[in-house]
Amino acid sequence: MADDPEWGGMMPKDIEGASTHMKLWSVWMYERATKTRLIPGGIDYLDLLKSMDEFRGEYPSQK
C-alpha cells in the first residue's frame, strides 16, 4: 500500500504501531478504494451485510 503512487501518501505514518484491527481496517479500505485484493480469501463485508439484510427480509423473525 505504501508503494502505491496514488494512495501511498495518504497512508498514516504510524500504521506500523497501530492495533491489528486498525491495520486490517486500513487494508480493507484500500482494497475497496482500489478494487484490488491484498489478502486472498478475504470477505467482502458489504456484500455479506447486504446478503444478511436480504435474508432477514425473506425470513423475518417470528416472535
Within 13 Å, how many C-alpha atoms sit on residue 54's CB side? 6
CB 34 within 8 A of CB 7: yes
pLDDT of residue 63: 61
CB 42 within 8 A of CB 48: no
List the grid coordinates of 19.
492495533
Per-residue pLDDT reduced to its tens digit, 4-61? 999 989 888 898 899 988 888 898 889 889 988 888 776 777 788 888 899 999 998 8
Characterise 59 by phi-psi region: left (phi > 0), alpha (psi -120 to 50), beta (else).
Answer: beta
Helix (H) or strand (E) holding 4: none
